[in-house]
Amino acid sequence: MSPHPRFTRRTFLAGVGASLAAATLPVVPTAVFAADAHAREFRIGYQKAASTLVLLKSHGTLEKRLAPLGVTVKWTEFPAGPQLLEGLNVGAIDFGYVGEAPPVFAQAAGANFVYTAYEIPTPHAEGILVHQDAPIKTLADLKGKKIALNKGSDVHWFLVAALEKSGVKYSEIQPVYLPPADARAAFERGAIDAWAIWDPFLEAAKRQSNARLLADADGIVSHHQFFLSARSFAQQGSKVLAITMDEVGKEGAWVRAHYGEAAAQLAPIQGLDANVIEAGLRHYAHIYKPIDANVLAQQQRIADTFNELRLIPTKIVTKDAALGVNA
């Protein structure tokens, strides 16, 4: 993976602000947002595996930044990205962090969200596991095999792309759609041949199960992570989002400088050994950028492939889910 520049908070916030300011509908001033009794609560969806947001919640710095605006923060946990986006689609949350495939499925289902920011590529943070003694040595050997994955999650795209690269059609495997905990149980009892999963679950299984890493995403997909916002919220709460991304950026910088301490804080929350968590943390970049045309084009490739495979019911245009991006 090629190196990426680290952007200052000023550069990042300028990019986010430009995107929000260029929305098709006018941005409602933050004062209006803060004065609206129904909008004073900023609702964030998160997953336990989303370490930066978990730490942001634990440290309470966002609440302190938003308090002068009269805005409180409500945190809601989801088991994975698809469920989080269901929450966003039905209006239960305003903001969340997911992998690259969930937004594609959600947009195809009519969810009215916008891409707010993304984490630079983290291809070592997801992989395909097989049993130590399995005869599966290459990705091509997955043909005909039972492979567990969380449907609609980031590993869904990774698996499709990995198979494509090895000359195996998605129709030539037996996908078994399971959430991480159920997939690990199935893997450990030998009910599946392989498991596509992300960190920290990936690192935990490598260390604690009879698992061997067949391949990670390096050289196959970028593995971006995205911050998404409900469209109506993005058009009304631009200052709240800018402050939030500023705090997320600070949290990411803190993690990069304190992997061990971050892992120790996350261990009781995520229910994993701190050494496992630290290894997983090092697979993520913790560097965030405003949405740009290039990353939207990569999302379009995912959408087009999923449509061809009939994994989504209709064609979508990913730039339709962005504000003010010249894509």
CATH number of the CATH domain containing 38:
3.40.190.10
CB count within 10 Å of CB 189 equals: 8
Question: Tokens standing for 150?
Answer: 């969380």
Report yes or no: 55 and 262 within 8 Å, Cβ to Cβ. yes
Domain limits at 145?
Answer: 124-216
| Bridge-based pairing state of the strands 174-177 and 113-119 | unpaired
Burial of 61 (0-12, 13-18, 19+ CB in 10 A): middle
Q: Per-residue pLDDT for 26 more than 50?
A: no
Same domain membership, residue 110 and residue 68? yes
Q: Per-residue pLDDT for 69 more than 80?
A: yes
Out of 193, 216, 239, a domain closes at: 216
As a whole number of angstroms, the distance between CA 81 and CA 179 comes to 11
Residue 14 has a pLDDT of: 44
As a whole number of angstroms, the distance between CA 279 and CA 63 comes to 29
Same domain membership, residue 207 and residue 87? no
Same domain membership, residue 13 and residue 112? yes
pLDDT tens-place string over residues 123-142: 999 999 999 999 999 999 99
Same domain membership, residue 232 and residue 188? no
Same domain membership, residue 251 and residue 117? yes
Residue 19 has a pLDDT of: 41
Q: Per-residue pLDDT for 230 more than 50?
A: yes
Residue 176 falls within a domain, yes or no? yes
Domain count within the chain: 2
pLDDT tens-place string over residues 186-207: 999 999 999 999 999 999 999 9
Which of 30-39, 77-86, 250-259, 287-296 shows the lowest per-residue confidence on average (mean pLDDT)?
Answer: 30-39
What is the DSSP-derived secondary structure letter of residue 28? P
Q: Per-residue pLDDT for 266 more than 80?
A: yes
Residue 324 has a pLDDT of: 67
pTM across the whole model:
0.83
pLDDT tens-place string over residues 298-319: 999 999 999 999 999 999 999 9
Q: Per-residue pLDDT for 264 more than 90?
A: yes
Same domain membership, residue 105 and residue 252? yes
State the pLDDT confidence band at 238, using cuts at 50, 70 and 90: confident
Query: C-alpha distances in angstroms, 251 versus 55, 196, 248, 254?
Result: 7, 28, 5, 5
Residue 1 falls within a domain, yes or no? no
Residue 174 falls within a domain, yes or no? yes
Q: Per-residue pLDDT for 67 more than 90?
A: yes
Same domain membership, residue 131 and residue 169? yes
Q: Per-residue pLDDT for 8 more than 70?
A: no
Same domain membership, residue 160 and residue 133? yes
Residue 82 has a pLDDT of: 85
As a whole number of angstroms, the distance between CA 163 and CA 321 comes to 28
Report yes or no: 164 and 221 within 8 Å, Cβ to Cβ. no
CB count within 10 Å of CB 162 equals: 24
Please give the helix or strand (H or E) that residue 130 lies within, else none.
Answer: strand 126-131
Residue 268 falls within a domain, yes or no? yes
Residue 230 falls within a domain, yes or no? yes
Q: Per-residue pLDDT for 165 more than 60?
A: yes
Same domain membership, residue 62 and residue 162? no
Share of the chain above pLDDT 70, in %: 87
Mean pLDDT, residues 148-177: 95
Residue 327 falls within a domain, yes or no? no
Residue 326 falls within a domain, yes or no? no
State the pLDDT confidence band at 325, using cuts at 50, 70 and 90: low
CA dihedral over 201, 102, 82, 284, signed as positive or negative: positive
Average pLDDT, the chain: 87
Out of 165, 195, 216, a domain closes at: 216
Report yes or no: 199 and 283 within 8 Å, Cβ to Cβ. yes
Mean pLDDT, residues 139-155: 95
As a whole number of angstroms, the distance between CA 143 and CA 175 comes to 11
Same domain membership, residue 99 and residue 246? yes
Phi, psi of 212, deg, nearest 5: -130, 135
Which of 230, 178, 287, 206 is CA-nearest to residue 20? 230
Question: Tokens standing for 79?
Answer: 């088991």
Buried b (16+ CB within 10 A) or exposed e, 84-99: bbbbbbeeebbbbbbb
Residue that has been written with the tokens 């290894």 in this structure: 279
Q: Considering just the CA atoms, what is the radius of gyration of the chain in Å? A: 19
Q: Per-residue pLDDT for 11 more than 90?
A: no
Residue 327 has a pLDDT of: 40
Out of 216, 243, 275, a domain closes at: 216
Same domain membership, residue 152 and residue 27? no
Residue 29 falls within a domain, yes or no? yes
Burial of 281 (0-12, 13-18, 19+ CB in 10 A): buried
What is the DSSP-derived secondary structure letter of residue 16? H
Which of 40, 37, 77 is CA-nearest to residue 57? 77
State the pLDDT confidence band at 72, using cuts at 50, 70 and 90: very high
Same domain membership, residue 107 and residue 241? yes
Mean pLDDT, residues 1-16: 40
Please give the helix or strand (H or E) that residue 76 lies within, else none.
Answer: strand 72-77
Q: Per-residue pLDDT for 291 more than 80?
A: yes
